[in-house]
Amino acid sequence: MSGEITDNRGRGEASWHWPSIHPEGRKFALIAAAASLGAALLALETIAWPLAVLVLCILAFFRDPQRITPQDDKCIVAPADGLICLIQRVPPPRELVIDDGRGTAHLGEAPVTRISIFMSVFDVHINRAPVGGTVRRLVYIPGRFLNADLDKASEENERQHILIERADGVKIGFTQIAGLVARRIVPFVKPGDMLAVGQRVGLIRFGSRVDVYLPEGTEPRVLLGQKVIAGETVLAQLGEQLLIEGVSQ
């Protein structure tokens, strides 16, 4: 089904299938499987069975399902699966604002709306591009491993900033943040790469968060506490500002 065009009038085909496992997770699964087999051969069942369960958990964590991404130039889609845990007006990250001396694109200094998506260990951890365009900046910052749903995690945790510039010059910044359990941010892209909206850009191992910085004049279409799906859920539409209210039920 990969690459197939579907629409809201029934064109295309849809069927359920087992999600693939990202190569980044296969080595961990093989190590756990080998340890489980070794324990079983030594008749250490109390160790073998938990390790076998661990193999299944690793495979589930690194699952990489296909997603149907809206093809609308105005749409900014979710870069991560998870819970909308914060929506705030904040200054953009300094690393995406300052002049890097090479003349690359950067964000302005004015406060913007930040949408924070918290990924638990049960969510898919493959991150995707919120818009299509060129990667202008990719900045890795070492840091702490605080609980990722805390506001200060955006400035204190290990993180990686990515800035994408669309063909029309609109720039979207987002940040991958390592969390309390997450200890490794794995990028799939580099500066200069051309990305399609919804394309895989990286993953964060074992629980984390992704922040998205909306351009000025654009407000979220999602609600605090809402669950979103990477590459599918529309976070905002460029130039759209409206109040949307929700009810928890």
* Active site positions, annotated: 208
**What's the CA gap between 126 and 137, in Å, rounded?**
19
Q: Which amino acid appears at position 127 of this protein?
A: N
Q: Is 89 helix (H, G, I), strand (E, B) or coil?
A: strand
Give alpha helix (H) positions in the chain: 23-41, 45-61, 153-156
Task: For residue 212, give the nearest of 245, 175, 182 by alpha carbon.
Answer: 175
**What's the CA gap between 216 and 60, in Å, rounded?**
38
Give the length of the chain.
249
- Contact by Cβ (8 Å): 125, 184: no
Q: Which amino acid appears at position 31 of this protein?
A: I
52: left (phi over 0), alpha (psi -120 to 50) or beta: alpha
- Which residues on adjacent β-strands are paired with residue 208? 119, 178
